[in-house]
Amino acid sequence: MFVVGGPDGAPVVRGSAGAAKTFRSYDQAQSFLLPPSLDDWLPADHTARFISEIVDDQLDLSSVYSSYANATGAPPFDPRMMLKLLLYAYSTGVTSSREVERRCHVDVAFRWLSANTAPDYRSLARFRRRHLDALADLFTQVLVLCAAAGLVKLGRVALDGTKLRASASRHKAMSYDRLTSRIGGVEAEVAAMLADAEATDAADDDEFGPDRRGDEVPAELATREGRLAKMRAAKAALEADAAERAAEAAEAKARQQGKPDDEVGAAVELARTTAVVNPKAQRSFTDPDARMMKTNHGFQYAYNAQAVADDHSQVVVATWVTQHPTDVTLLVPMLAACRRSLDDAGIDTRPEVTLADAGYCSTANIDTTAGNGDNVLVATGRLKHHEQIPDAPRGRIPNHLTSRQRMARRLRTKTGRAAYARRKAIIEPVFGQMKQKQNAGHLRLRGLDGARGEFTLHAICHNLRKLANRTRPALC
């Protein structure tokens, strides 16, 4: 019952509309007359269908099947099905194997891809880790498909890096000075426990006879010995890193001074043997390969992921992951990686110009890329907020200018300014889409090989999304 106003303003009582309304039938216990088909529940233009078609009809999975050398044993899940689940999950931002298993029970697209089998999370995680080496071949095949669809033009390409958080806990790590002090303490604890164990064994032998083996290790002792081994390994790794960095710096300085090779080698060896570790340098116990890097969320254990993207459609043409927090040493290696990736894909065209920010700038990089025949536009410095680029000076280029000054002058020309202005629009949306749509900002796999494989997987899924948007007007 409800009350409304009449024509004269007097209240009028009327019955509820639901009393006479007819609703559609609703019965949660409704039975199907015929067995239901999952294929009828998934829209015809769904992303899962596109990925399934790509895996079934376009990709050569011989690199995946080649790892199954033993024909005996229990039959594993079909690699096609596992790969489809992995690609669709990463394309939609689901990177947890436990979440993929859950989706295979409650999500229509995942159930359709798995044919209602729902593999357990352990099998999914093992499949992902097992086939890391095959991902490079799959990346090349997807790049070939993108090129065939007209998505790779190679006019301008842009290079940049981003920090990806590692699967490492900041609370399970120690700095070098704390490692040095703690190792001595734990060694003393282990020695005391070993002495106590020997005394106990001797007393047992006197009382019960020499029937015990005498080599049983108490659980507490085993735990301390394991912790001590991890601390020693972390300390040695920090010392090795410091020695390597000191050697690289000494070699660069000696080369710059024009010293002969024998003096360069002596300087490198001296720097390596006298290197001093920063007392605050840290090493994680959960992922020893990760390094402390500055990210948008402060200092975190992370990896430096590099990518080269095409201007035409933001397709990624080359990737790499490194432990170096800075980009300055990665310009030449990434240009070489781009050439190898294009050669593997059978693409003869080379980029007309490669754009890179100031993080890649050094005189050595500019000279090396020019000597290799690479046309590179790299910023020579960062502009302050609202700072305008000065116009290029008129007239001939003075002969006394250094290569860095020539690059700065080139960037101030009308052509150089127009080309470099495209850098942000090419590469930064690639990382943004990977992190927002594919949850690529936080890696699941530990170790440098795991990080490289997982970022390659993200790049494959990114390129598949570009290919799907090109070939299908609607993307679910």
What is the predicted pLDDT for the residue at 448? 94
What is the predicted pLDDT for the residue at 91? 95
Q: Is the pLDDT of residue 35 over 80?
A: no
**Rg (alpha carbons) of the chain, rounded to whole number:** 31
Tokens at 289, concatenated: 């390969």
Is residue 139 left, alpha or beta, with left meaning phi > 0 and alpha meaning psi from -120 to 50? alpha
Distance CA 397, CA 449 (A): 46
Q: Which amino acid is at 26?
A: Y
pTM above 0.85, yes or no: no
What is the predicted pLDDT for the residue at 67? 86
Window from 36-50, 163-177, 280-294 with minimum mean pLDDT: 163-177
Bridge-based pairing of strands 298-310 and 156-165 is antiparallel
pLDDT in tens, 190-215: 555 555 555 555 555 554 445 555 45
Distance CA 164, CA 451 (A): 9
Q: Is the pLDDT of residue 109 over 60?
A: yes
What is the predicted pLDDT for the residue at 196? 57
Q: Is the pLDDT of residue 183 over 70?
A: no
What is the predicted pLDDT for the residue at 127? 94
Q: What is the Cα 260 distance to its own chain's centre?
A: 41
pLDDT in tens, 44-77: 989 999 999 999 999 999 999 998 887 777 888 9
Between residues 472 and 95, which one has the greater pLDDT?
Answer: 95
Q: Is residue 108 within 8 Å of 38, Cβ to Cβ?
A: yes
Distance CA 46, CA 102 (A): 20
